[in-house]
Amino acid sequence: MALPKIPDYPLPAAADLPKSRAPFVLEPGRAALLVHDMQRYFCAAFGADAFRREGSPIAAAAANIARLLSAARTAGVPVFYTAQKGNQFRPDRGLQAELWGPGMSATPEHEEIIPMLAPAEGDIALVKHRYSAFQRSNLAPLMRARGRDQLIITGIYAHIGCLATAAEAFQRDIEPFFVADALADFSREKHDMALDWVAACSGVPMVTDAVLASLESPSG
């Protein structure tokens, strides 16, 4: 029931992206950036030396998230974080306890966002209780209040919470942009499955360089 030990795999590149059915075009004036669940507890599944190990998907994804954070803050794009709390019990944890067990403890070693991606002043941190970042949070109204109807999704895990967030964003008429090389997952197979589903049903898979080009565009 606990998280698996995740092996290394190469993150998708631009040439690996599935073609999206959606015509959405990323616009910095409409977008918000989401850093999804990049907490020590979830990152630990990639191994104790994951951020020092060549070929680690979480190290590569985190480096790309850091690039996106810098560009978003410079461009005035709102930045949201989700993070779960430890020691959750019913009803807070709900059915997730049936699949994943008790989850994290209420300690900094579990709850803390990894230091290289720590929230900055002006960023908005949300407590998360379910797979989707929209469930039991005020992400949607906070986006609407800022005139944002596009969401750039990064973090872990691609086929679970990140995919659920993309699906719910679409159902709330918020256009999802799924940043393939700023996400990490249990395996390349599950990572690719998430990209395929988003491309077919809810949003636009992109790579970090393409998102940066949009955020840094003078017309943006």
Residue 220 has pLDDT above 60, yes or no: no
Most confident of 4-13, 82-91, 103-112: 4-13
pLDDT at 217: 77
End-to-end CA distance of the chain: 45
Residue 1 has pLDDT above 90, yes or no: no
Residue 53 has pLDDT above 60, yes or no: yes
Segment 58-70, tens digit of pLDDT: 999 999 999 999 9
Residue 151 has pLDDT above 60, yes or no: yes
Known catalytic membership, residue 37: yes
Q: What is the DSSP letter of 15?
A: G
The greatest distance separating any two alpha carbons of the chain, rounded to the nearest whole angstrom, comes to 49
Q: Could you tell me the two tokens for 28?
A: 């910095």
Number of domains the chain is built from: 1
Give the integer Cα–Cα distance in Å for 38 and 142. Answer: 20
96 part of a folded domain: no
94 part of a folded domain: no
Segment 32-52, tens digit of pLDDT: 999 999 999 889 999 989 999
Segment 69-107, tens digit of pLDDT: 999 999 999 999 998 865 566 567 666 766 666 666 666
CATH number assigned to the domain comprising residue 34: 3.40.50.850
140 part of a folded domain: yes
100 part of a folded domain: no
Going along 37-186, which residue ranges are E strands? 79-84, 124-128, 150-156, 175-184
Q: Could you tell me the two tokens for 162?
A: 């990140």
pLDDT at 4: 84
**Under DSSP, is residue 132 helix (H, G, I), strand (E, B) or coil?**
coil
Residue pair 64/14 in contact by the 8 Å Cβ criterion: no
Q: Could you tell me the two tokens for 210?
A: 């393409």
Q: What is the DSSP letter of 14?
A: G
Q: Could you tell me the two tokens for 181?
A: 């090389």
Give the integer Cα–Cα distance in Å for 176 and 165. Answer: 9
- How crowded is residue 29: how many other Cβ atoms within 10 Å of its Cβ? 12
Residue pair 203/170 in contact by the 8 Å Cβ criterion: yes
101 part of a folded domain: no
Q: Domain range spanning residue 67?
A: 27-84+113-215
Catalytic, out of 8, 16, 37, 181: 37
49 part of a folded domain: yes
Closest-CA residue to 194 (of 161, 148, 150, 146): 161
pTM for the full model? 0.92
Mean pLDDT, residues 118-134 taken together: 92
Who contacts 70 (Cβ-Cβ below 8 Å, separation ≥6)?
Answer: none
pLDDT at 133: 94
Closest-CA residue to 157 (of 1, 55, 4): 4
pLDDT at 136: 84
Give the integer Cα–Cα distance in Å for 194 and 75. Answer: 28
93 part of a folded domain: no
Average predicted confidence (pLDDT) for the chain = 91
pLDDT at 22: 97
12 part of a folded domain: no
pLDDT at 112: 86
